Structure 1
Amino acid sequence: MRMLLMAAVALLAAACGSTPGAVPFQLPPGSQLPPGAAVITSGPSERGDQSCDPTASLRPGIQPQPGAMPAGSTMAAIVASGKLRVGVDQNQTLFGYRNPATGQIEGFDIDIAREVARDLFGDPERVELHPTESANRAPALVANEVDMVVQTFSATCARRKDVQFSTPYLLADQRLLVTKTSGIRSTADLAGKKVCGVYRSTTLDAIFALPQHPTVIGMVNWLDCLTALQQGQVDAVSTDAPILDGLKMQDPNLELVGETMDSDAFAIGIQKQATDFVRFVNSVLQRLRTDGTWQRLYDKWLSGVGPSPGPPATRYSD
């Protein structure tokens, strides 16, 4: 056990060296944190910039027939490559997770990505899924590692400095996930507690804004937060409710509590220069809203979260 703990400390030290405002924290006796876990001492300010309307996107263009994209367009280049490269999660039940029975990554986000491939190629299977850590979603686009990101990626003004976003395809409110015996019923009960979040996520900002000053523990992904909550290494997990619902489905001893802390609009992230592809993707999303596909996908993946709110309203910047 002593060797395991020493290894954990070494991993934490390495992680903290690359994560601003993150330092190791004391482990409960006999426990081991996932690699990369650390205390976060300041929020990423992902929601703080209010200089734009983060949910407004470019108006859809005229949708070409699958496989017949305009010459010289971003879409034509993607079709010529033979596949649509998509940054996704593989640890988020309901949105993007690896099905242990099939080994395939499945979820609401994955099916949204396949609909874009359907309109590009005429074949929804022409996707190349790239599992990406939440903190690396924008960097993966900037580095041209993927053509788009569909990964519960919240549109914000801060992120728009590096990437573009489609219109939102789902709205979500931020809440808390706790064990049923925790005694935590609202954010007012978090004083002196440990709250888990994922690096660079928008939902960290609302935690740091609380007057109760909980200790914020950063993890690489939400599945690590779930494990830490189950092992008593943190007292709560806070992020958007649909993500928390996916974690709760894996453990009947957990529950969502508390008031709405903030809200997010999930959108598709696209490379900054690919304005034509933004318009194309917005055309795809408009089709999903009007032909019943969005509702079908909601019923398939998210009906257990609650009644369908319907697809989000659209706002266009031009």
Structure 2
Amino acid sequence: MRIRAALTATVLAATAALAGCAGDSSPLPVTPDRPQADAVTPAPAPDGTKPAPPACNPRASLRPTGSLPEPGDMPAGSYMATIQERGRLVLGTSQDTLLFSSRNPFTGEIEGFDVDMGRQIAEAIFGDPDKIQIKVIGYDKRVSSAVDGSVDIVADTMTANCERWVDVNFSSIYYEAGQKVLVSKSSKAKSIADLGGKKICSAAGSTSFDNIGKEKSKPIAVARPAFGDCLVAFQRNEVDGISTDDTILAGMAAQDPYAKVIGDKFTQEPYAIAMNKEHPEFARFVNAVLERNRANGTWKKTYEKWLGDFGQAPPPPKAQYR
């Protein structure tokens, strides 16, 4: 374990050094702003209940209207025109979710499936996928960053659910994931049902963290600012496992030869892009981009680029609209 911890520290230090020279405008989060304190499932209201969000179909988004405008010619008065005038699309995402949005240790650039979703939207607005500013945000800041306008879109392995729909607009679903558990290869556990009383880590503010606390086996939910921090905690024996979406865990297992992913999916996690509710025309535009990319093979090529090691690309999720 000492060797594993030393290797982890070395990799993280190298990544930080390279990131300081990166072309991204987003700085690495500084240590004082990333507390490592454990967290537990939020306490219910005094009467023992938690207010439920309005019932909805979280997969149903706003239907596109008409054909896409030509790049560089966004409709006057639209939010797309505001982005065009600014000269860049601002994408909020993470920097440590391998395959979806992680910082390349050699180039310092943030890349992955989610980042390419953002680049495709930038290309639809500008005709240039590089007219994008990547802003690193915490998992617990994904909704608030879309609400306060500090980013235009959030593409960050984010599950669309009714609670979040209250505050943001979501695109149609662009990826179907499900939650599993990562443990040590020496563990005899076969699923999360075998991990009662064990410390299981997930990112603060994620649905994955909430789901751990709902399990009948009663594992102990431990929060860290990001999943990269969970991996470090796991390698230091501070937690017994990590639980989040299967694709994220696969990326972690690829980084740690002593880890394995166990069990069947015990949740459904439909990923969608989050946007400010004040600009419904932008949500319709984003959905038109996603619709086009499903039809012309762009989605499939993106899957093969980043997730091809999981096997043949499945059909892209079908869009549902309100």
Length-normalised TM-score, structure 1: 0.86
Indicate conservation of the 8 Å contact 1:37/1:220, yes or no: no
Which residue pairs with 2:64 in the alignment? Answer: 60
Residues 86-235 of structure 1: pairs in structure 2 closer than 5 A:
86-235=91-240
Please, which moves more after superposition, 181-190 or 273-282?
A: 181-190
Please, which moves more after superposition, 303-312 or 63-72?
A: 303-312
Which residue pairs with 1:245 in the alignment? Answer: 250
State the shift of 1:167 in Å.
0.2
Q: Deviations over 1:123-178 (max 9, x none)?
A: 00000000011100111111110111111111111001111000010000111011
State the shift of 1:204 in Å.
2.2
Indicate conservation of the 8 Å contact 2:41/2:210, yes or no: no
Indicate conservation of the 8 Å contact 1:66/1:120, yes or no: yes
Which residue type is aligned with residue 218 of structure 2? H
State the shift of 1:187 in Å.
1.7
Please, which moves more after superposition, 195-204 or 100-109?
A: 195-204
Indicate conservation of the 8 Å contact 1:47/1:158, yes or no: no
Whole-angstrom distance in 2 between the partners of 1:49 and 1:256: 32
Which residue pairs with 2:38 in the alignment? Answer: 38
| CA shift in 2, pair 1:100/1:72, >3 Å | same
Identical-pair percentage: 42
Please, which moves more after superposition, 222-231 or 36-45?
A: 36-45
Secondary structure, aligned partner of 1:129:
strand
Which residue pairs with 2:305 in the alignment? Answer: 300
| CA shift in 2, pair 1:221/1:163, >3 Å | same
Q: Structure 2 stretches of 5 or more lacking a match? A: 1-33
Whole-angstrom distance in 1 between the partners of 2:273 and 2:52: 20
Secondary structure, aligned partner of 2:176:
strand
State the shift of 1:48 in Å.
6.2
Which residue pairs with 2:15 in the alignment? Answer: none
Q: Deviations over 1:71-109 (max 9, x none)?
A: 100100110000001101111100001101001101011
State the shift of 1:303 in Å.
1.2
Secondary structure, aligned partner of 1:303:
helix
| CA shift in 2, pair 1:58/1:50, >3 Å | same
Which residue type is aligned with residue 52 of structure 1? C
2:294 aligned to which of 275, 281, 289: 289
| CA shift in 2, pair 1:81/1:165, >3 Å | same
Whole-angstrom distance in 1 between the partners of 2:308 and 2:133: 27
Whole-angstrom distance in 1 between the partners of 2:167 and 2:76: 26
Aligned length: 284
Indicate conservation of the 8 Å contact 2:212/2:220, yes or no: no
Q: Structure 1 stretches of 5 or more lacking a match? A: 1-33
Which residue pairs with 2:20 in the alignment? Answer: none
Secondary structure, aligned partner of 1:176:
strand
Whole-angstrom distance in 2 between the partners of 1:51 and 1:161: 10
